Homo-oligomer: A and B are copies of this chain.
């Protein structure tokens, strides 16, 4: 006989869901027991649900197919919610299996009873289903997987009552085929082609799947042939980069700067991206960043065939055979002297190996990362899509599981690292080839900037203490060692580079704690050069305009 859990396991792997990032409890024990019946399923244990969900997110970004999570009732889902939010915002496919009490036990309101569906809707509005019987469980599972895989990808949640899991009579379901995405229709392409032909200043804002090689090459042909500007969304789910690919500048996080990037653009063409808005609202500032005089067009929405749409546009405009401008190979010099955040990024750019996966959750400290790695060997970059910090280390776990032959380098802020620090243990247990670089500036540095940006400038000691990670300063090297990850603390650029070289030579988990000064207090005094540096491709005229705008 086959129980529900066993049939579910078979249904998952038959549909290509071959990894389960798990943090199980009693109600999931039959699913756990079924792992050994299915050699194709790999189970990766996390010590906290946020690690499991963030790993599933990172895995799917790199594998282009979903992993499963295994979570324990509403509280387990709650603990995993923030990274599922990031997956939702990044349109990443994830299949949550959330264990629940046996159906007949719910009415007793036992300790762990809570409304799981309600919580799940926050992150998987498109698919939340509670399995009703062992017989129909796998039909629900197949539907969940298909929902997760339907373009552009989403989080799907299947709630699995314990008795549905342990009941006999499970029937595996064959995979359902998700609908094939369609390219942009002719009329849309024609309108956009006309806008481009008009000769007015036009930019493509690219996001999602447009930031993979085929989409980027197609867009770069258009740029070469028709002079349109290429911009990438601020926080890409996954962006292919490096020497030999087109260089596409990302829209800045700071609305003040993004506005400058969008200056004078009269046609903004969205390709798997949304019209830019500021991350937060600020008193007296606009949330919507598109200039009033700019017309917004959508070439392809996220659920469409992005590359085919771009190719169709190129066909209409005669750009199909154009020669795209590609990034030349170019690495920064080896950094020297006292360590700064910029020198950490420089060391990464100088030393990063071929075919790396870069996970960027360095917040203020990794502002120079994009510039420093632009001409590095080809790599993928994963960023914080939903703004819920604590994504980076778990994403690195998942990326390394998806791509065991590729080195993963995760750059993480100290504040953000603490949300899901438990990820280090999973890196050690699975011997994942991840080098985690923690920027230790003993501060929620971005909040020191935000405090001034929201107009709360004259703050006292209690307020400052809420942004400050001193007293005591965290020692990430010690914490990592406590979780079985080789770790070193560095405060010179020389030692930083040496530590990276050592990590490169010894595949497996490493942590480098980069001790850097917290130098971002006083926005008006210091933010300008830093903002300017962060976008080295800005034309000089814009830099000057910005300088005037922001000068004290």
Query: Is A78 an interface residue, CB under 8 A from the partner?
Result: yes
Cβ–Cβ contact B482 & A111, under 8 A = no
Contact B81 A119 (CB under 8 A): yes
Q: What 15 new A-B contacts, CB under 8 Å, besides A24-B466, A35-B466, A78-B82?
A: A26-B280, A26-B453, A32-B451, A32-B463, A36-B463, A48-B418, A78-B78, A78-B79, A108-B288, A110-B279, A112-B280, A421-B422, A429-B472, A474-B484, A479-B483
Determine the chain B residues whose CB is within 8 A of the CB of A419 once the complex forms: 47-48, 79, 422
Residues of B within 8 A of A27 (CB): 280
Question: Which A residues lie at the B interface, using CB under 8 A?
Answer: 22, 24-27, 29-30, 32-36, 43, 45, 47-48, 50, 74-76, 78-79, 81-82, 85, 88-89, 101-102, 104-105, 108-112, 114-115, 118-119, 121-123, 162-163, 166, 235, 274, 277-281, 283, 287-288, 385-388, 390, 415, 418-419, 421-422, 425, 428-429, 446-447, 450-451, 453-456, 458-463, 465-467, 469, 471-484
Minimal beta-carbon separation of A204 from chain B (angstroms): 21
What residues on B are CB-neighbors of A110 within 8 Å?
Answer: 277-280, 287, 387
Q: Which residues of B contact A88 (CB under 8 A)?
A: 114
Of A81, A386, A467, which is in contact with the most chain B CB atoms at under 10 Å from its CB?
A81
Taking the closest CB of chain B, its distance from the CB of A530, in whole angstroms, is 18
Task: Give every chain B residue within 8 A of A466 (Cβ-Cβ).
Answer: 22, 24, 32, 35, 43, 45
A482 to B81 CA separation, bound complex (whole angstroms)? 27
Chain B residues with CB under 8 A of A79: 50, 78-79, 81-82, 390, 419
For A475, what are the chain B residues with a Cβ–Cβ distance below 8 Å? Answer: 481-484
A474 touches B425 (CB 8 A): yes
CB-nearest residue of chain B to A288: B108
Given A32-B463, A36-B462, A466-B32, are A111 and B82 neighbors across the interface (CB < 8 Å)?
no
Which 7 A-B pairs rank lowest in CB-CB distance, beginning with the nearest? A472-B484, A36-B460, A78-B81, A478-B482, A102-B281, A75-B388, A105-B281
For A101, the chain B residues whose CB sits under 8 A away are 280-281
Minimum CB–CB distance from A301 to chain B (whole Å) comes to 14
19 A-B pairs with CB atoms under 8 Å apart are: A26-B279, A27-B280, A29-B451, A29-B456, A30-B454, A32-B451, A36-B463, A48-B390, A48-B419, A79-B390, A101-B280, A102-B287, A105-B287, A115-B122, A118-B121, A119-B119, A418-B422, A425-B472, A479-B479
What is the total number of copies of this protein in its complex? 2
Given A78-B81, A462-B36, are A89 and B111 also a contact pair (CB < 8 Å)?
yes
Q: How far is the CA of A78 from the CA of B483 in the complex (A)?
A: 25
Q: Which residues on B sit within 8 Å (CB–CB) of A474?
A: 425, 482-484
| C-alpha gap A385/B109 in the complex (Å) | 13
Q: What residues of B have a CB within 8 angstroms of the CB of A415 in the complex?
A: 47
Q: How far is the CB of A292 from chain B (nearest CB, A)?
A: 16
Q: Do B75 and A81 touch (CB < 8 A)? A: yes
Name which residue of chain B comes closest to A85, CB basis.
B75
What's the Cα separation between A32 and B387 when bound, in Å?
20
List, in ascending order, chain B residues with CB within 8 A of A47's CB: 415, 418-419, 469
When distances are taken between beta carbons in the complex, the residues of chain B under 8 Å from A471 are 428-429
Task: Kindly state the separation between the CA atoms of A455 and B3 in the bound complex, as whole angstroms.
Answer: 12
A481-B484 CB under 8 A given contacts A25-B447, A82-B79, A386-B111: no
Nearest Cβ on chain B to A161's Cβ, whole angstroms: 9
CB–CB B463/A33 < 8 A: yes
Chain B residues with CB below 8 A from A481, complex form: 475, 478
Contact B283 A29 (CB under 8 A): no
CA of A429 to CA of B472 in the docked complex: distance in angstroms?
6
Instruction: Report how far A110 CA is from B121 CA in the complex, Å.
Output: 18
> A353 to chain B: closest CB distance in Å?
25
A89 to B110, CA, bound (A): 9
Provide the residues of chain B in CB contact with A483, threshold 8 Å: 472, 474-475, 479
Instruction: Give Cα distance in the complex from A133 to B201, angstroms.
Output: 41
- Closest B residue, CB atoms, query A468: B45
User: Is B451 touching A166 in the complex (CB atoms < 8 A)?
Assistant: no
Distance of A537 Cα from B478 Cα, bound (Å): 45
Query: Once the chains are docked, how many angstroms separate the CA of A385 from the CA of B456?
Result: 39
CA distance A503 to B390 in the complex (A): 33
Chain B contacts for A418, CB-based, 8 A:
47-48, 422, 425
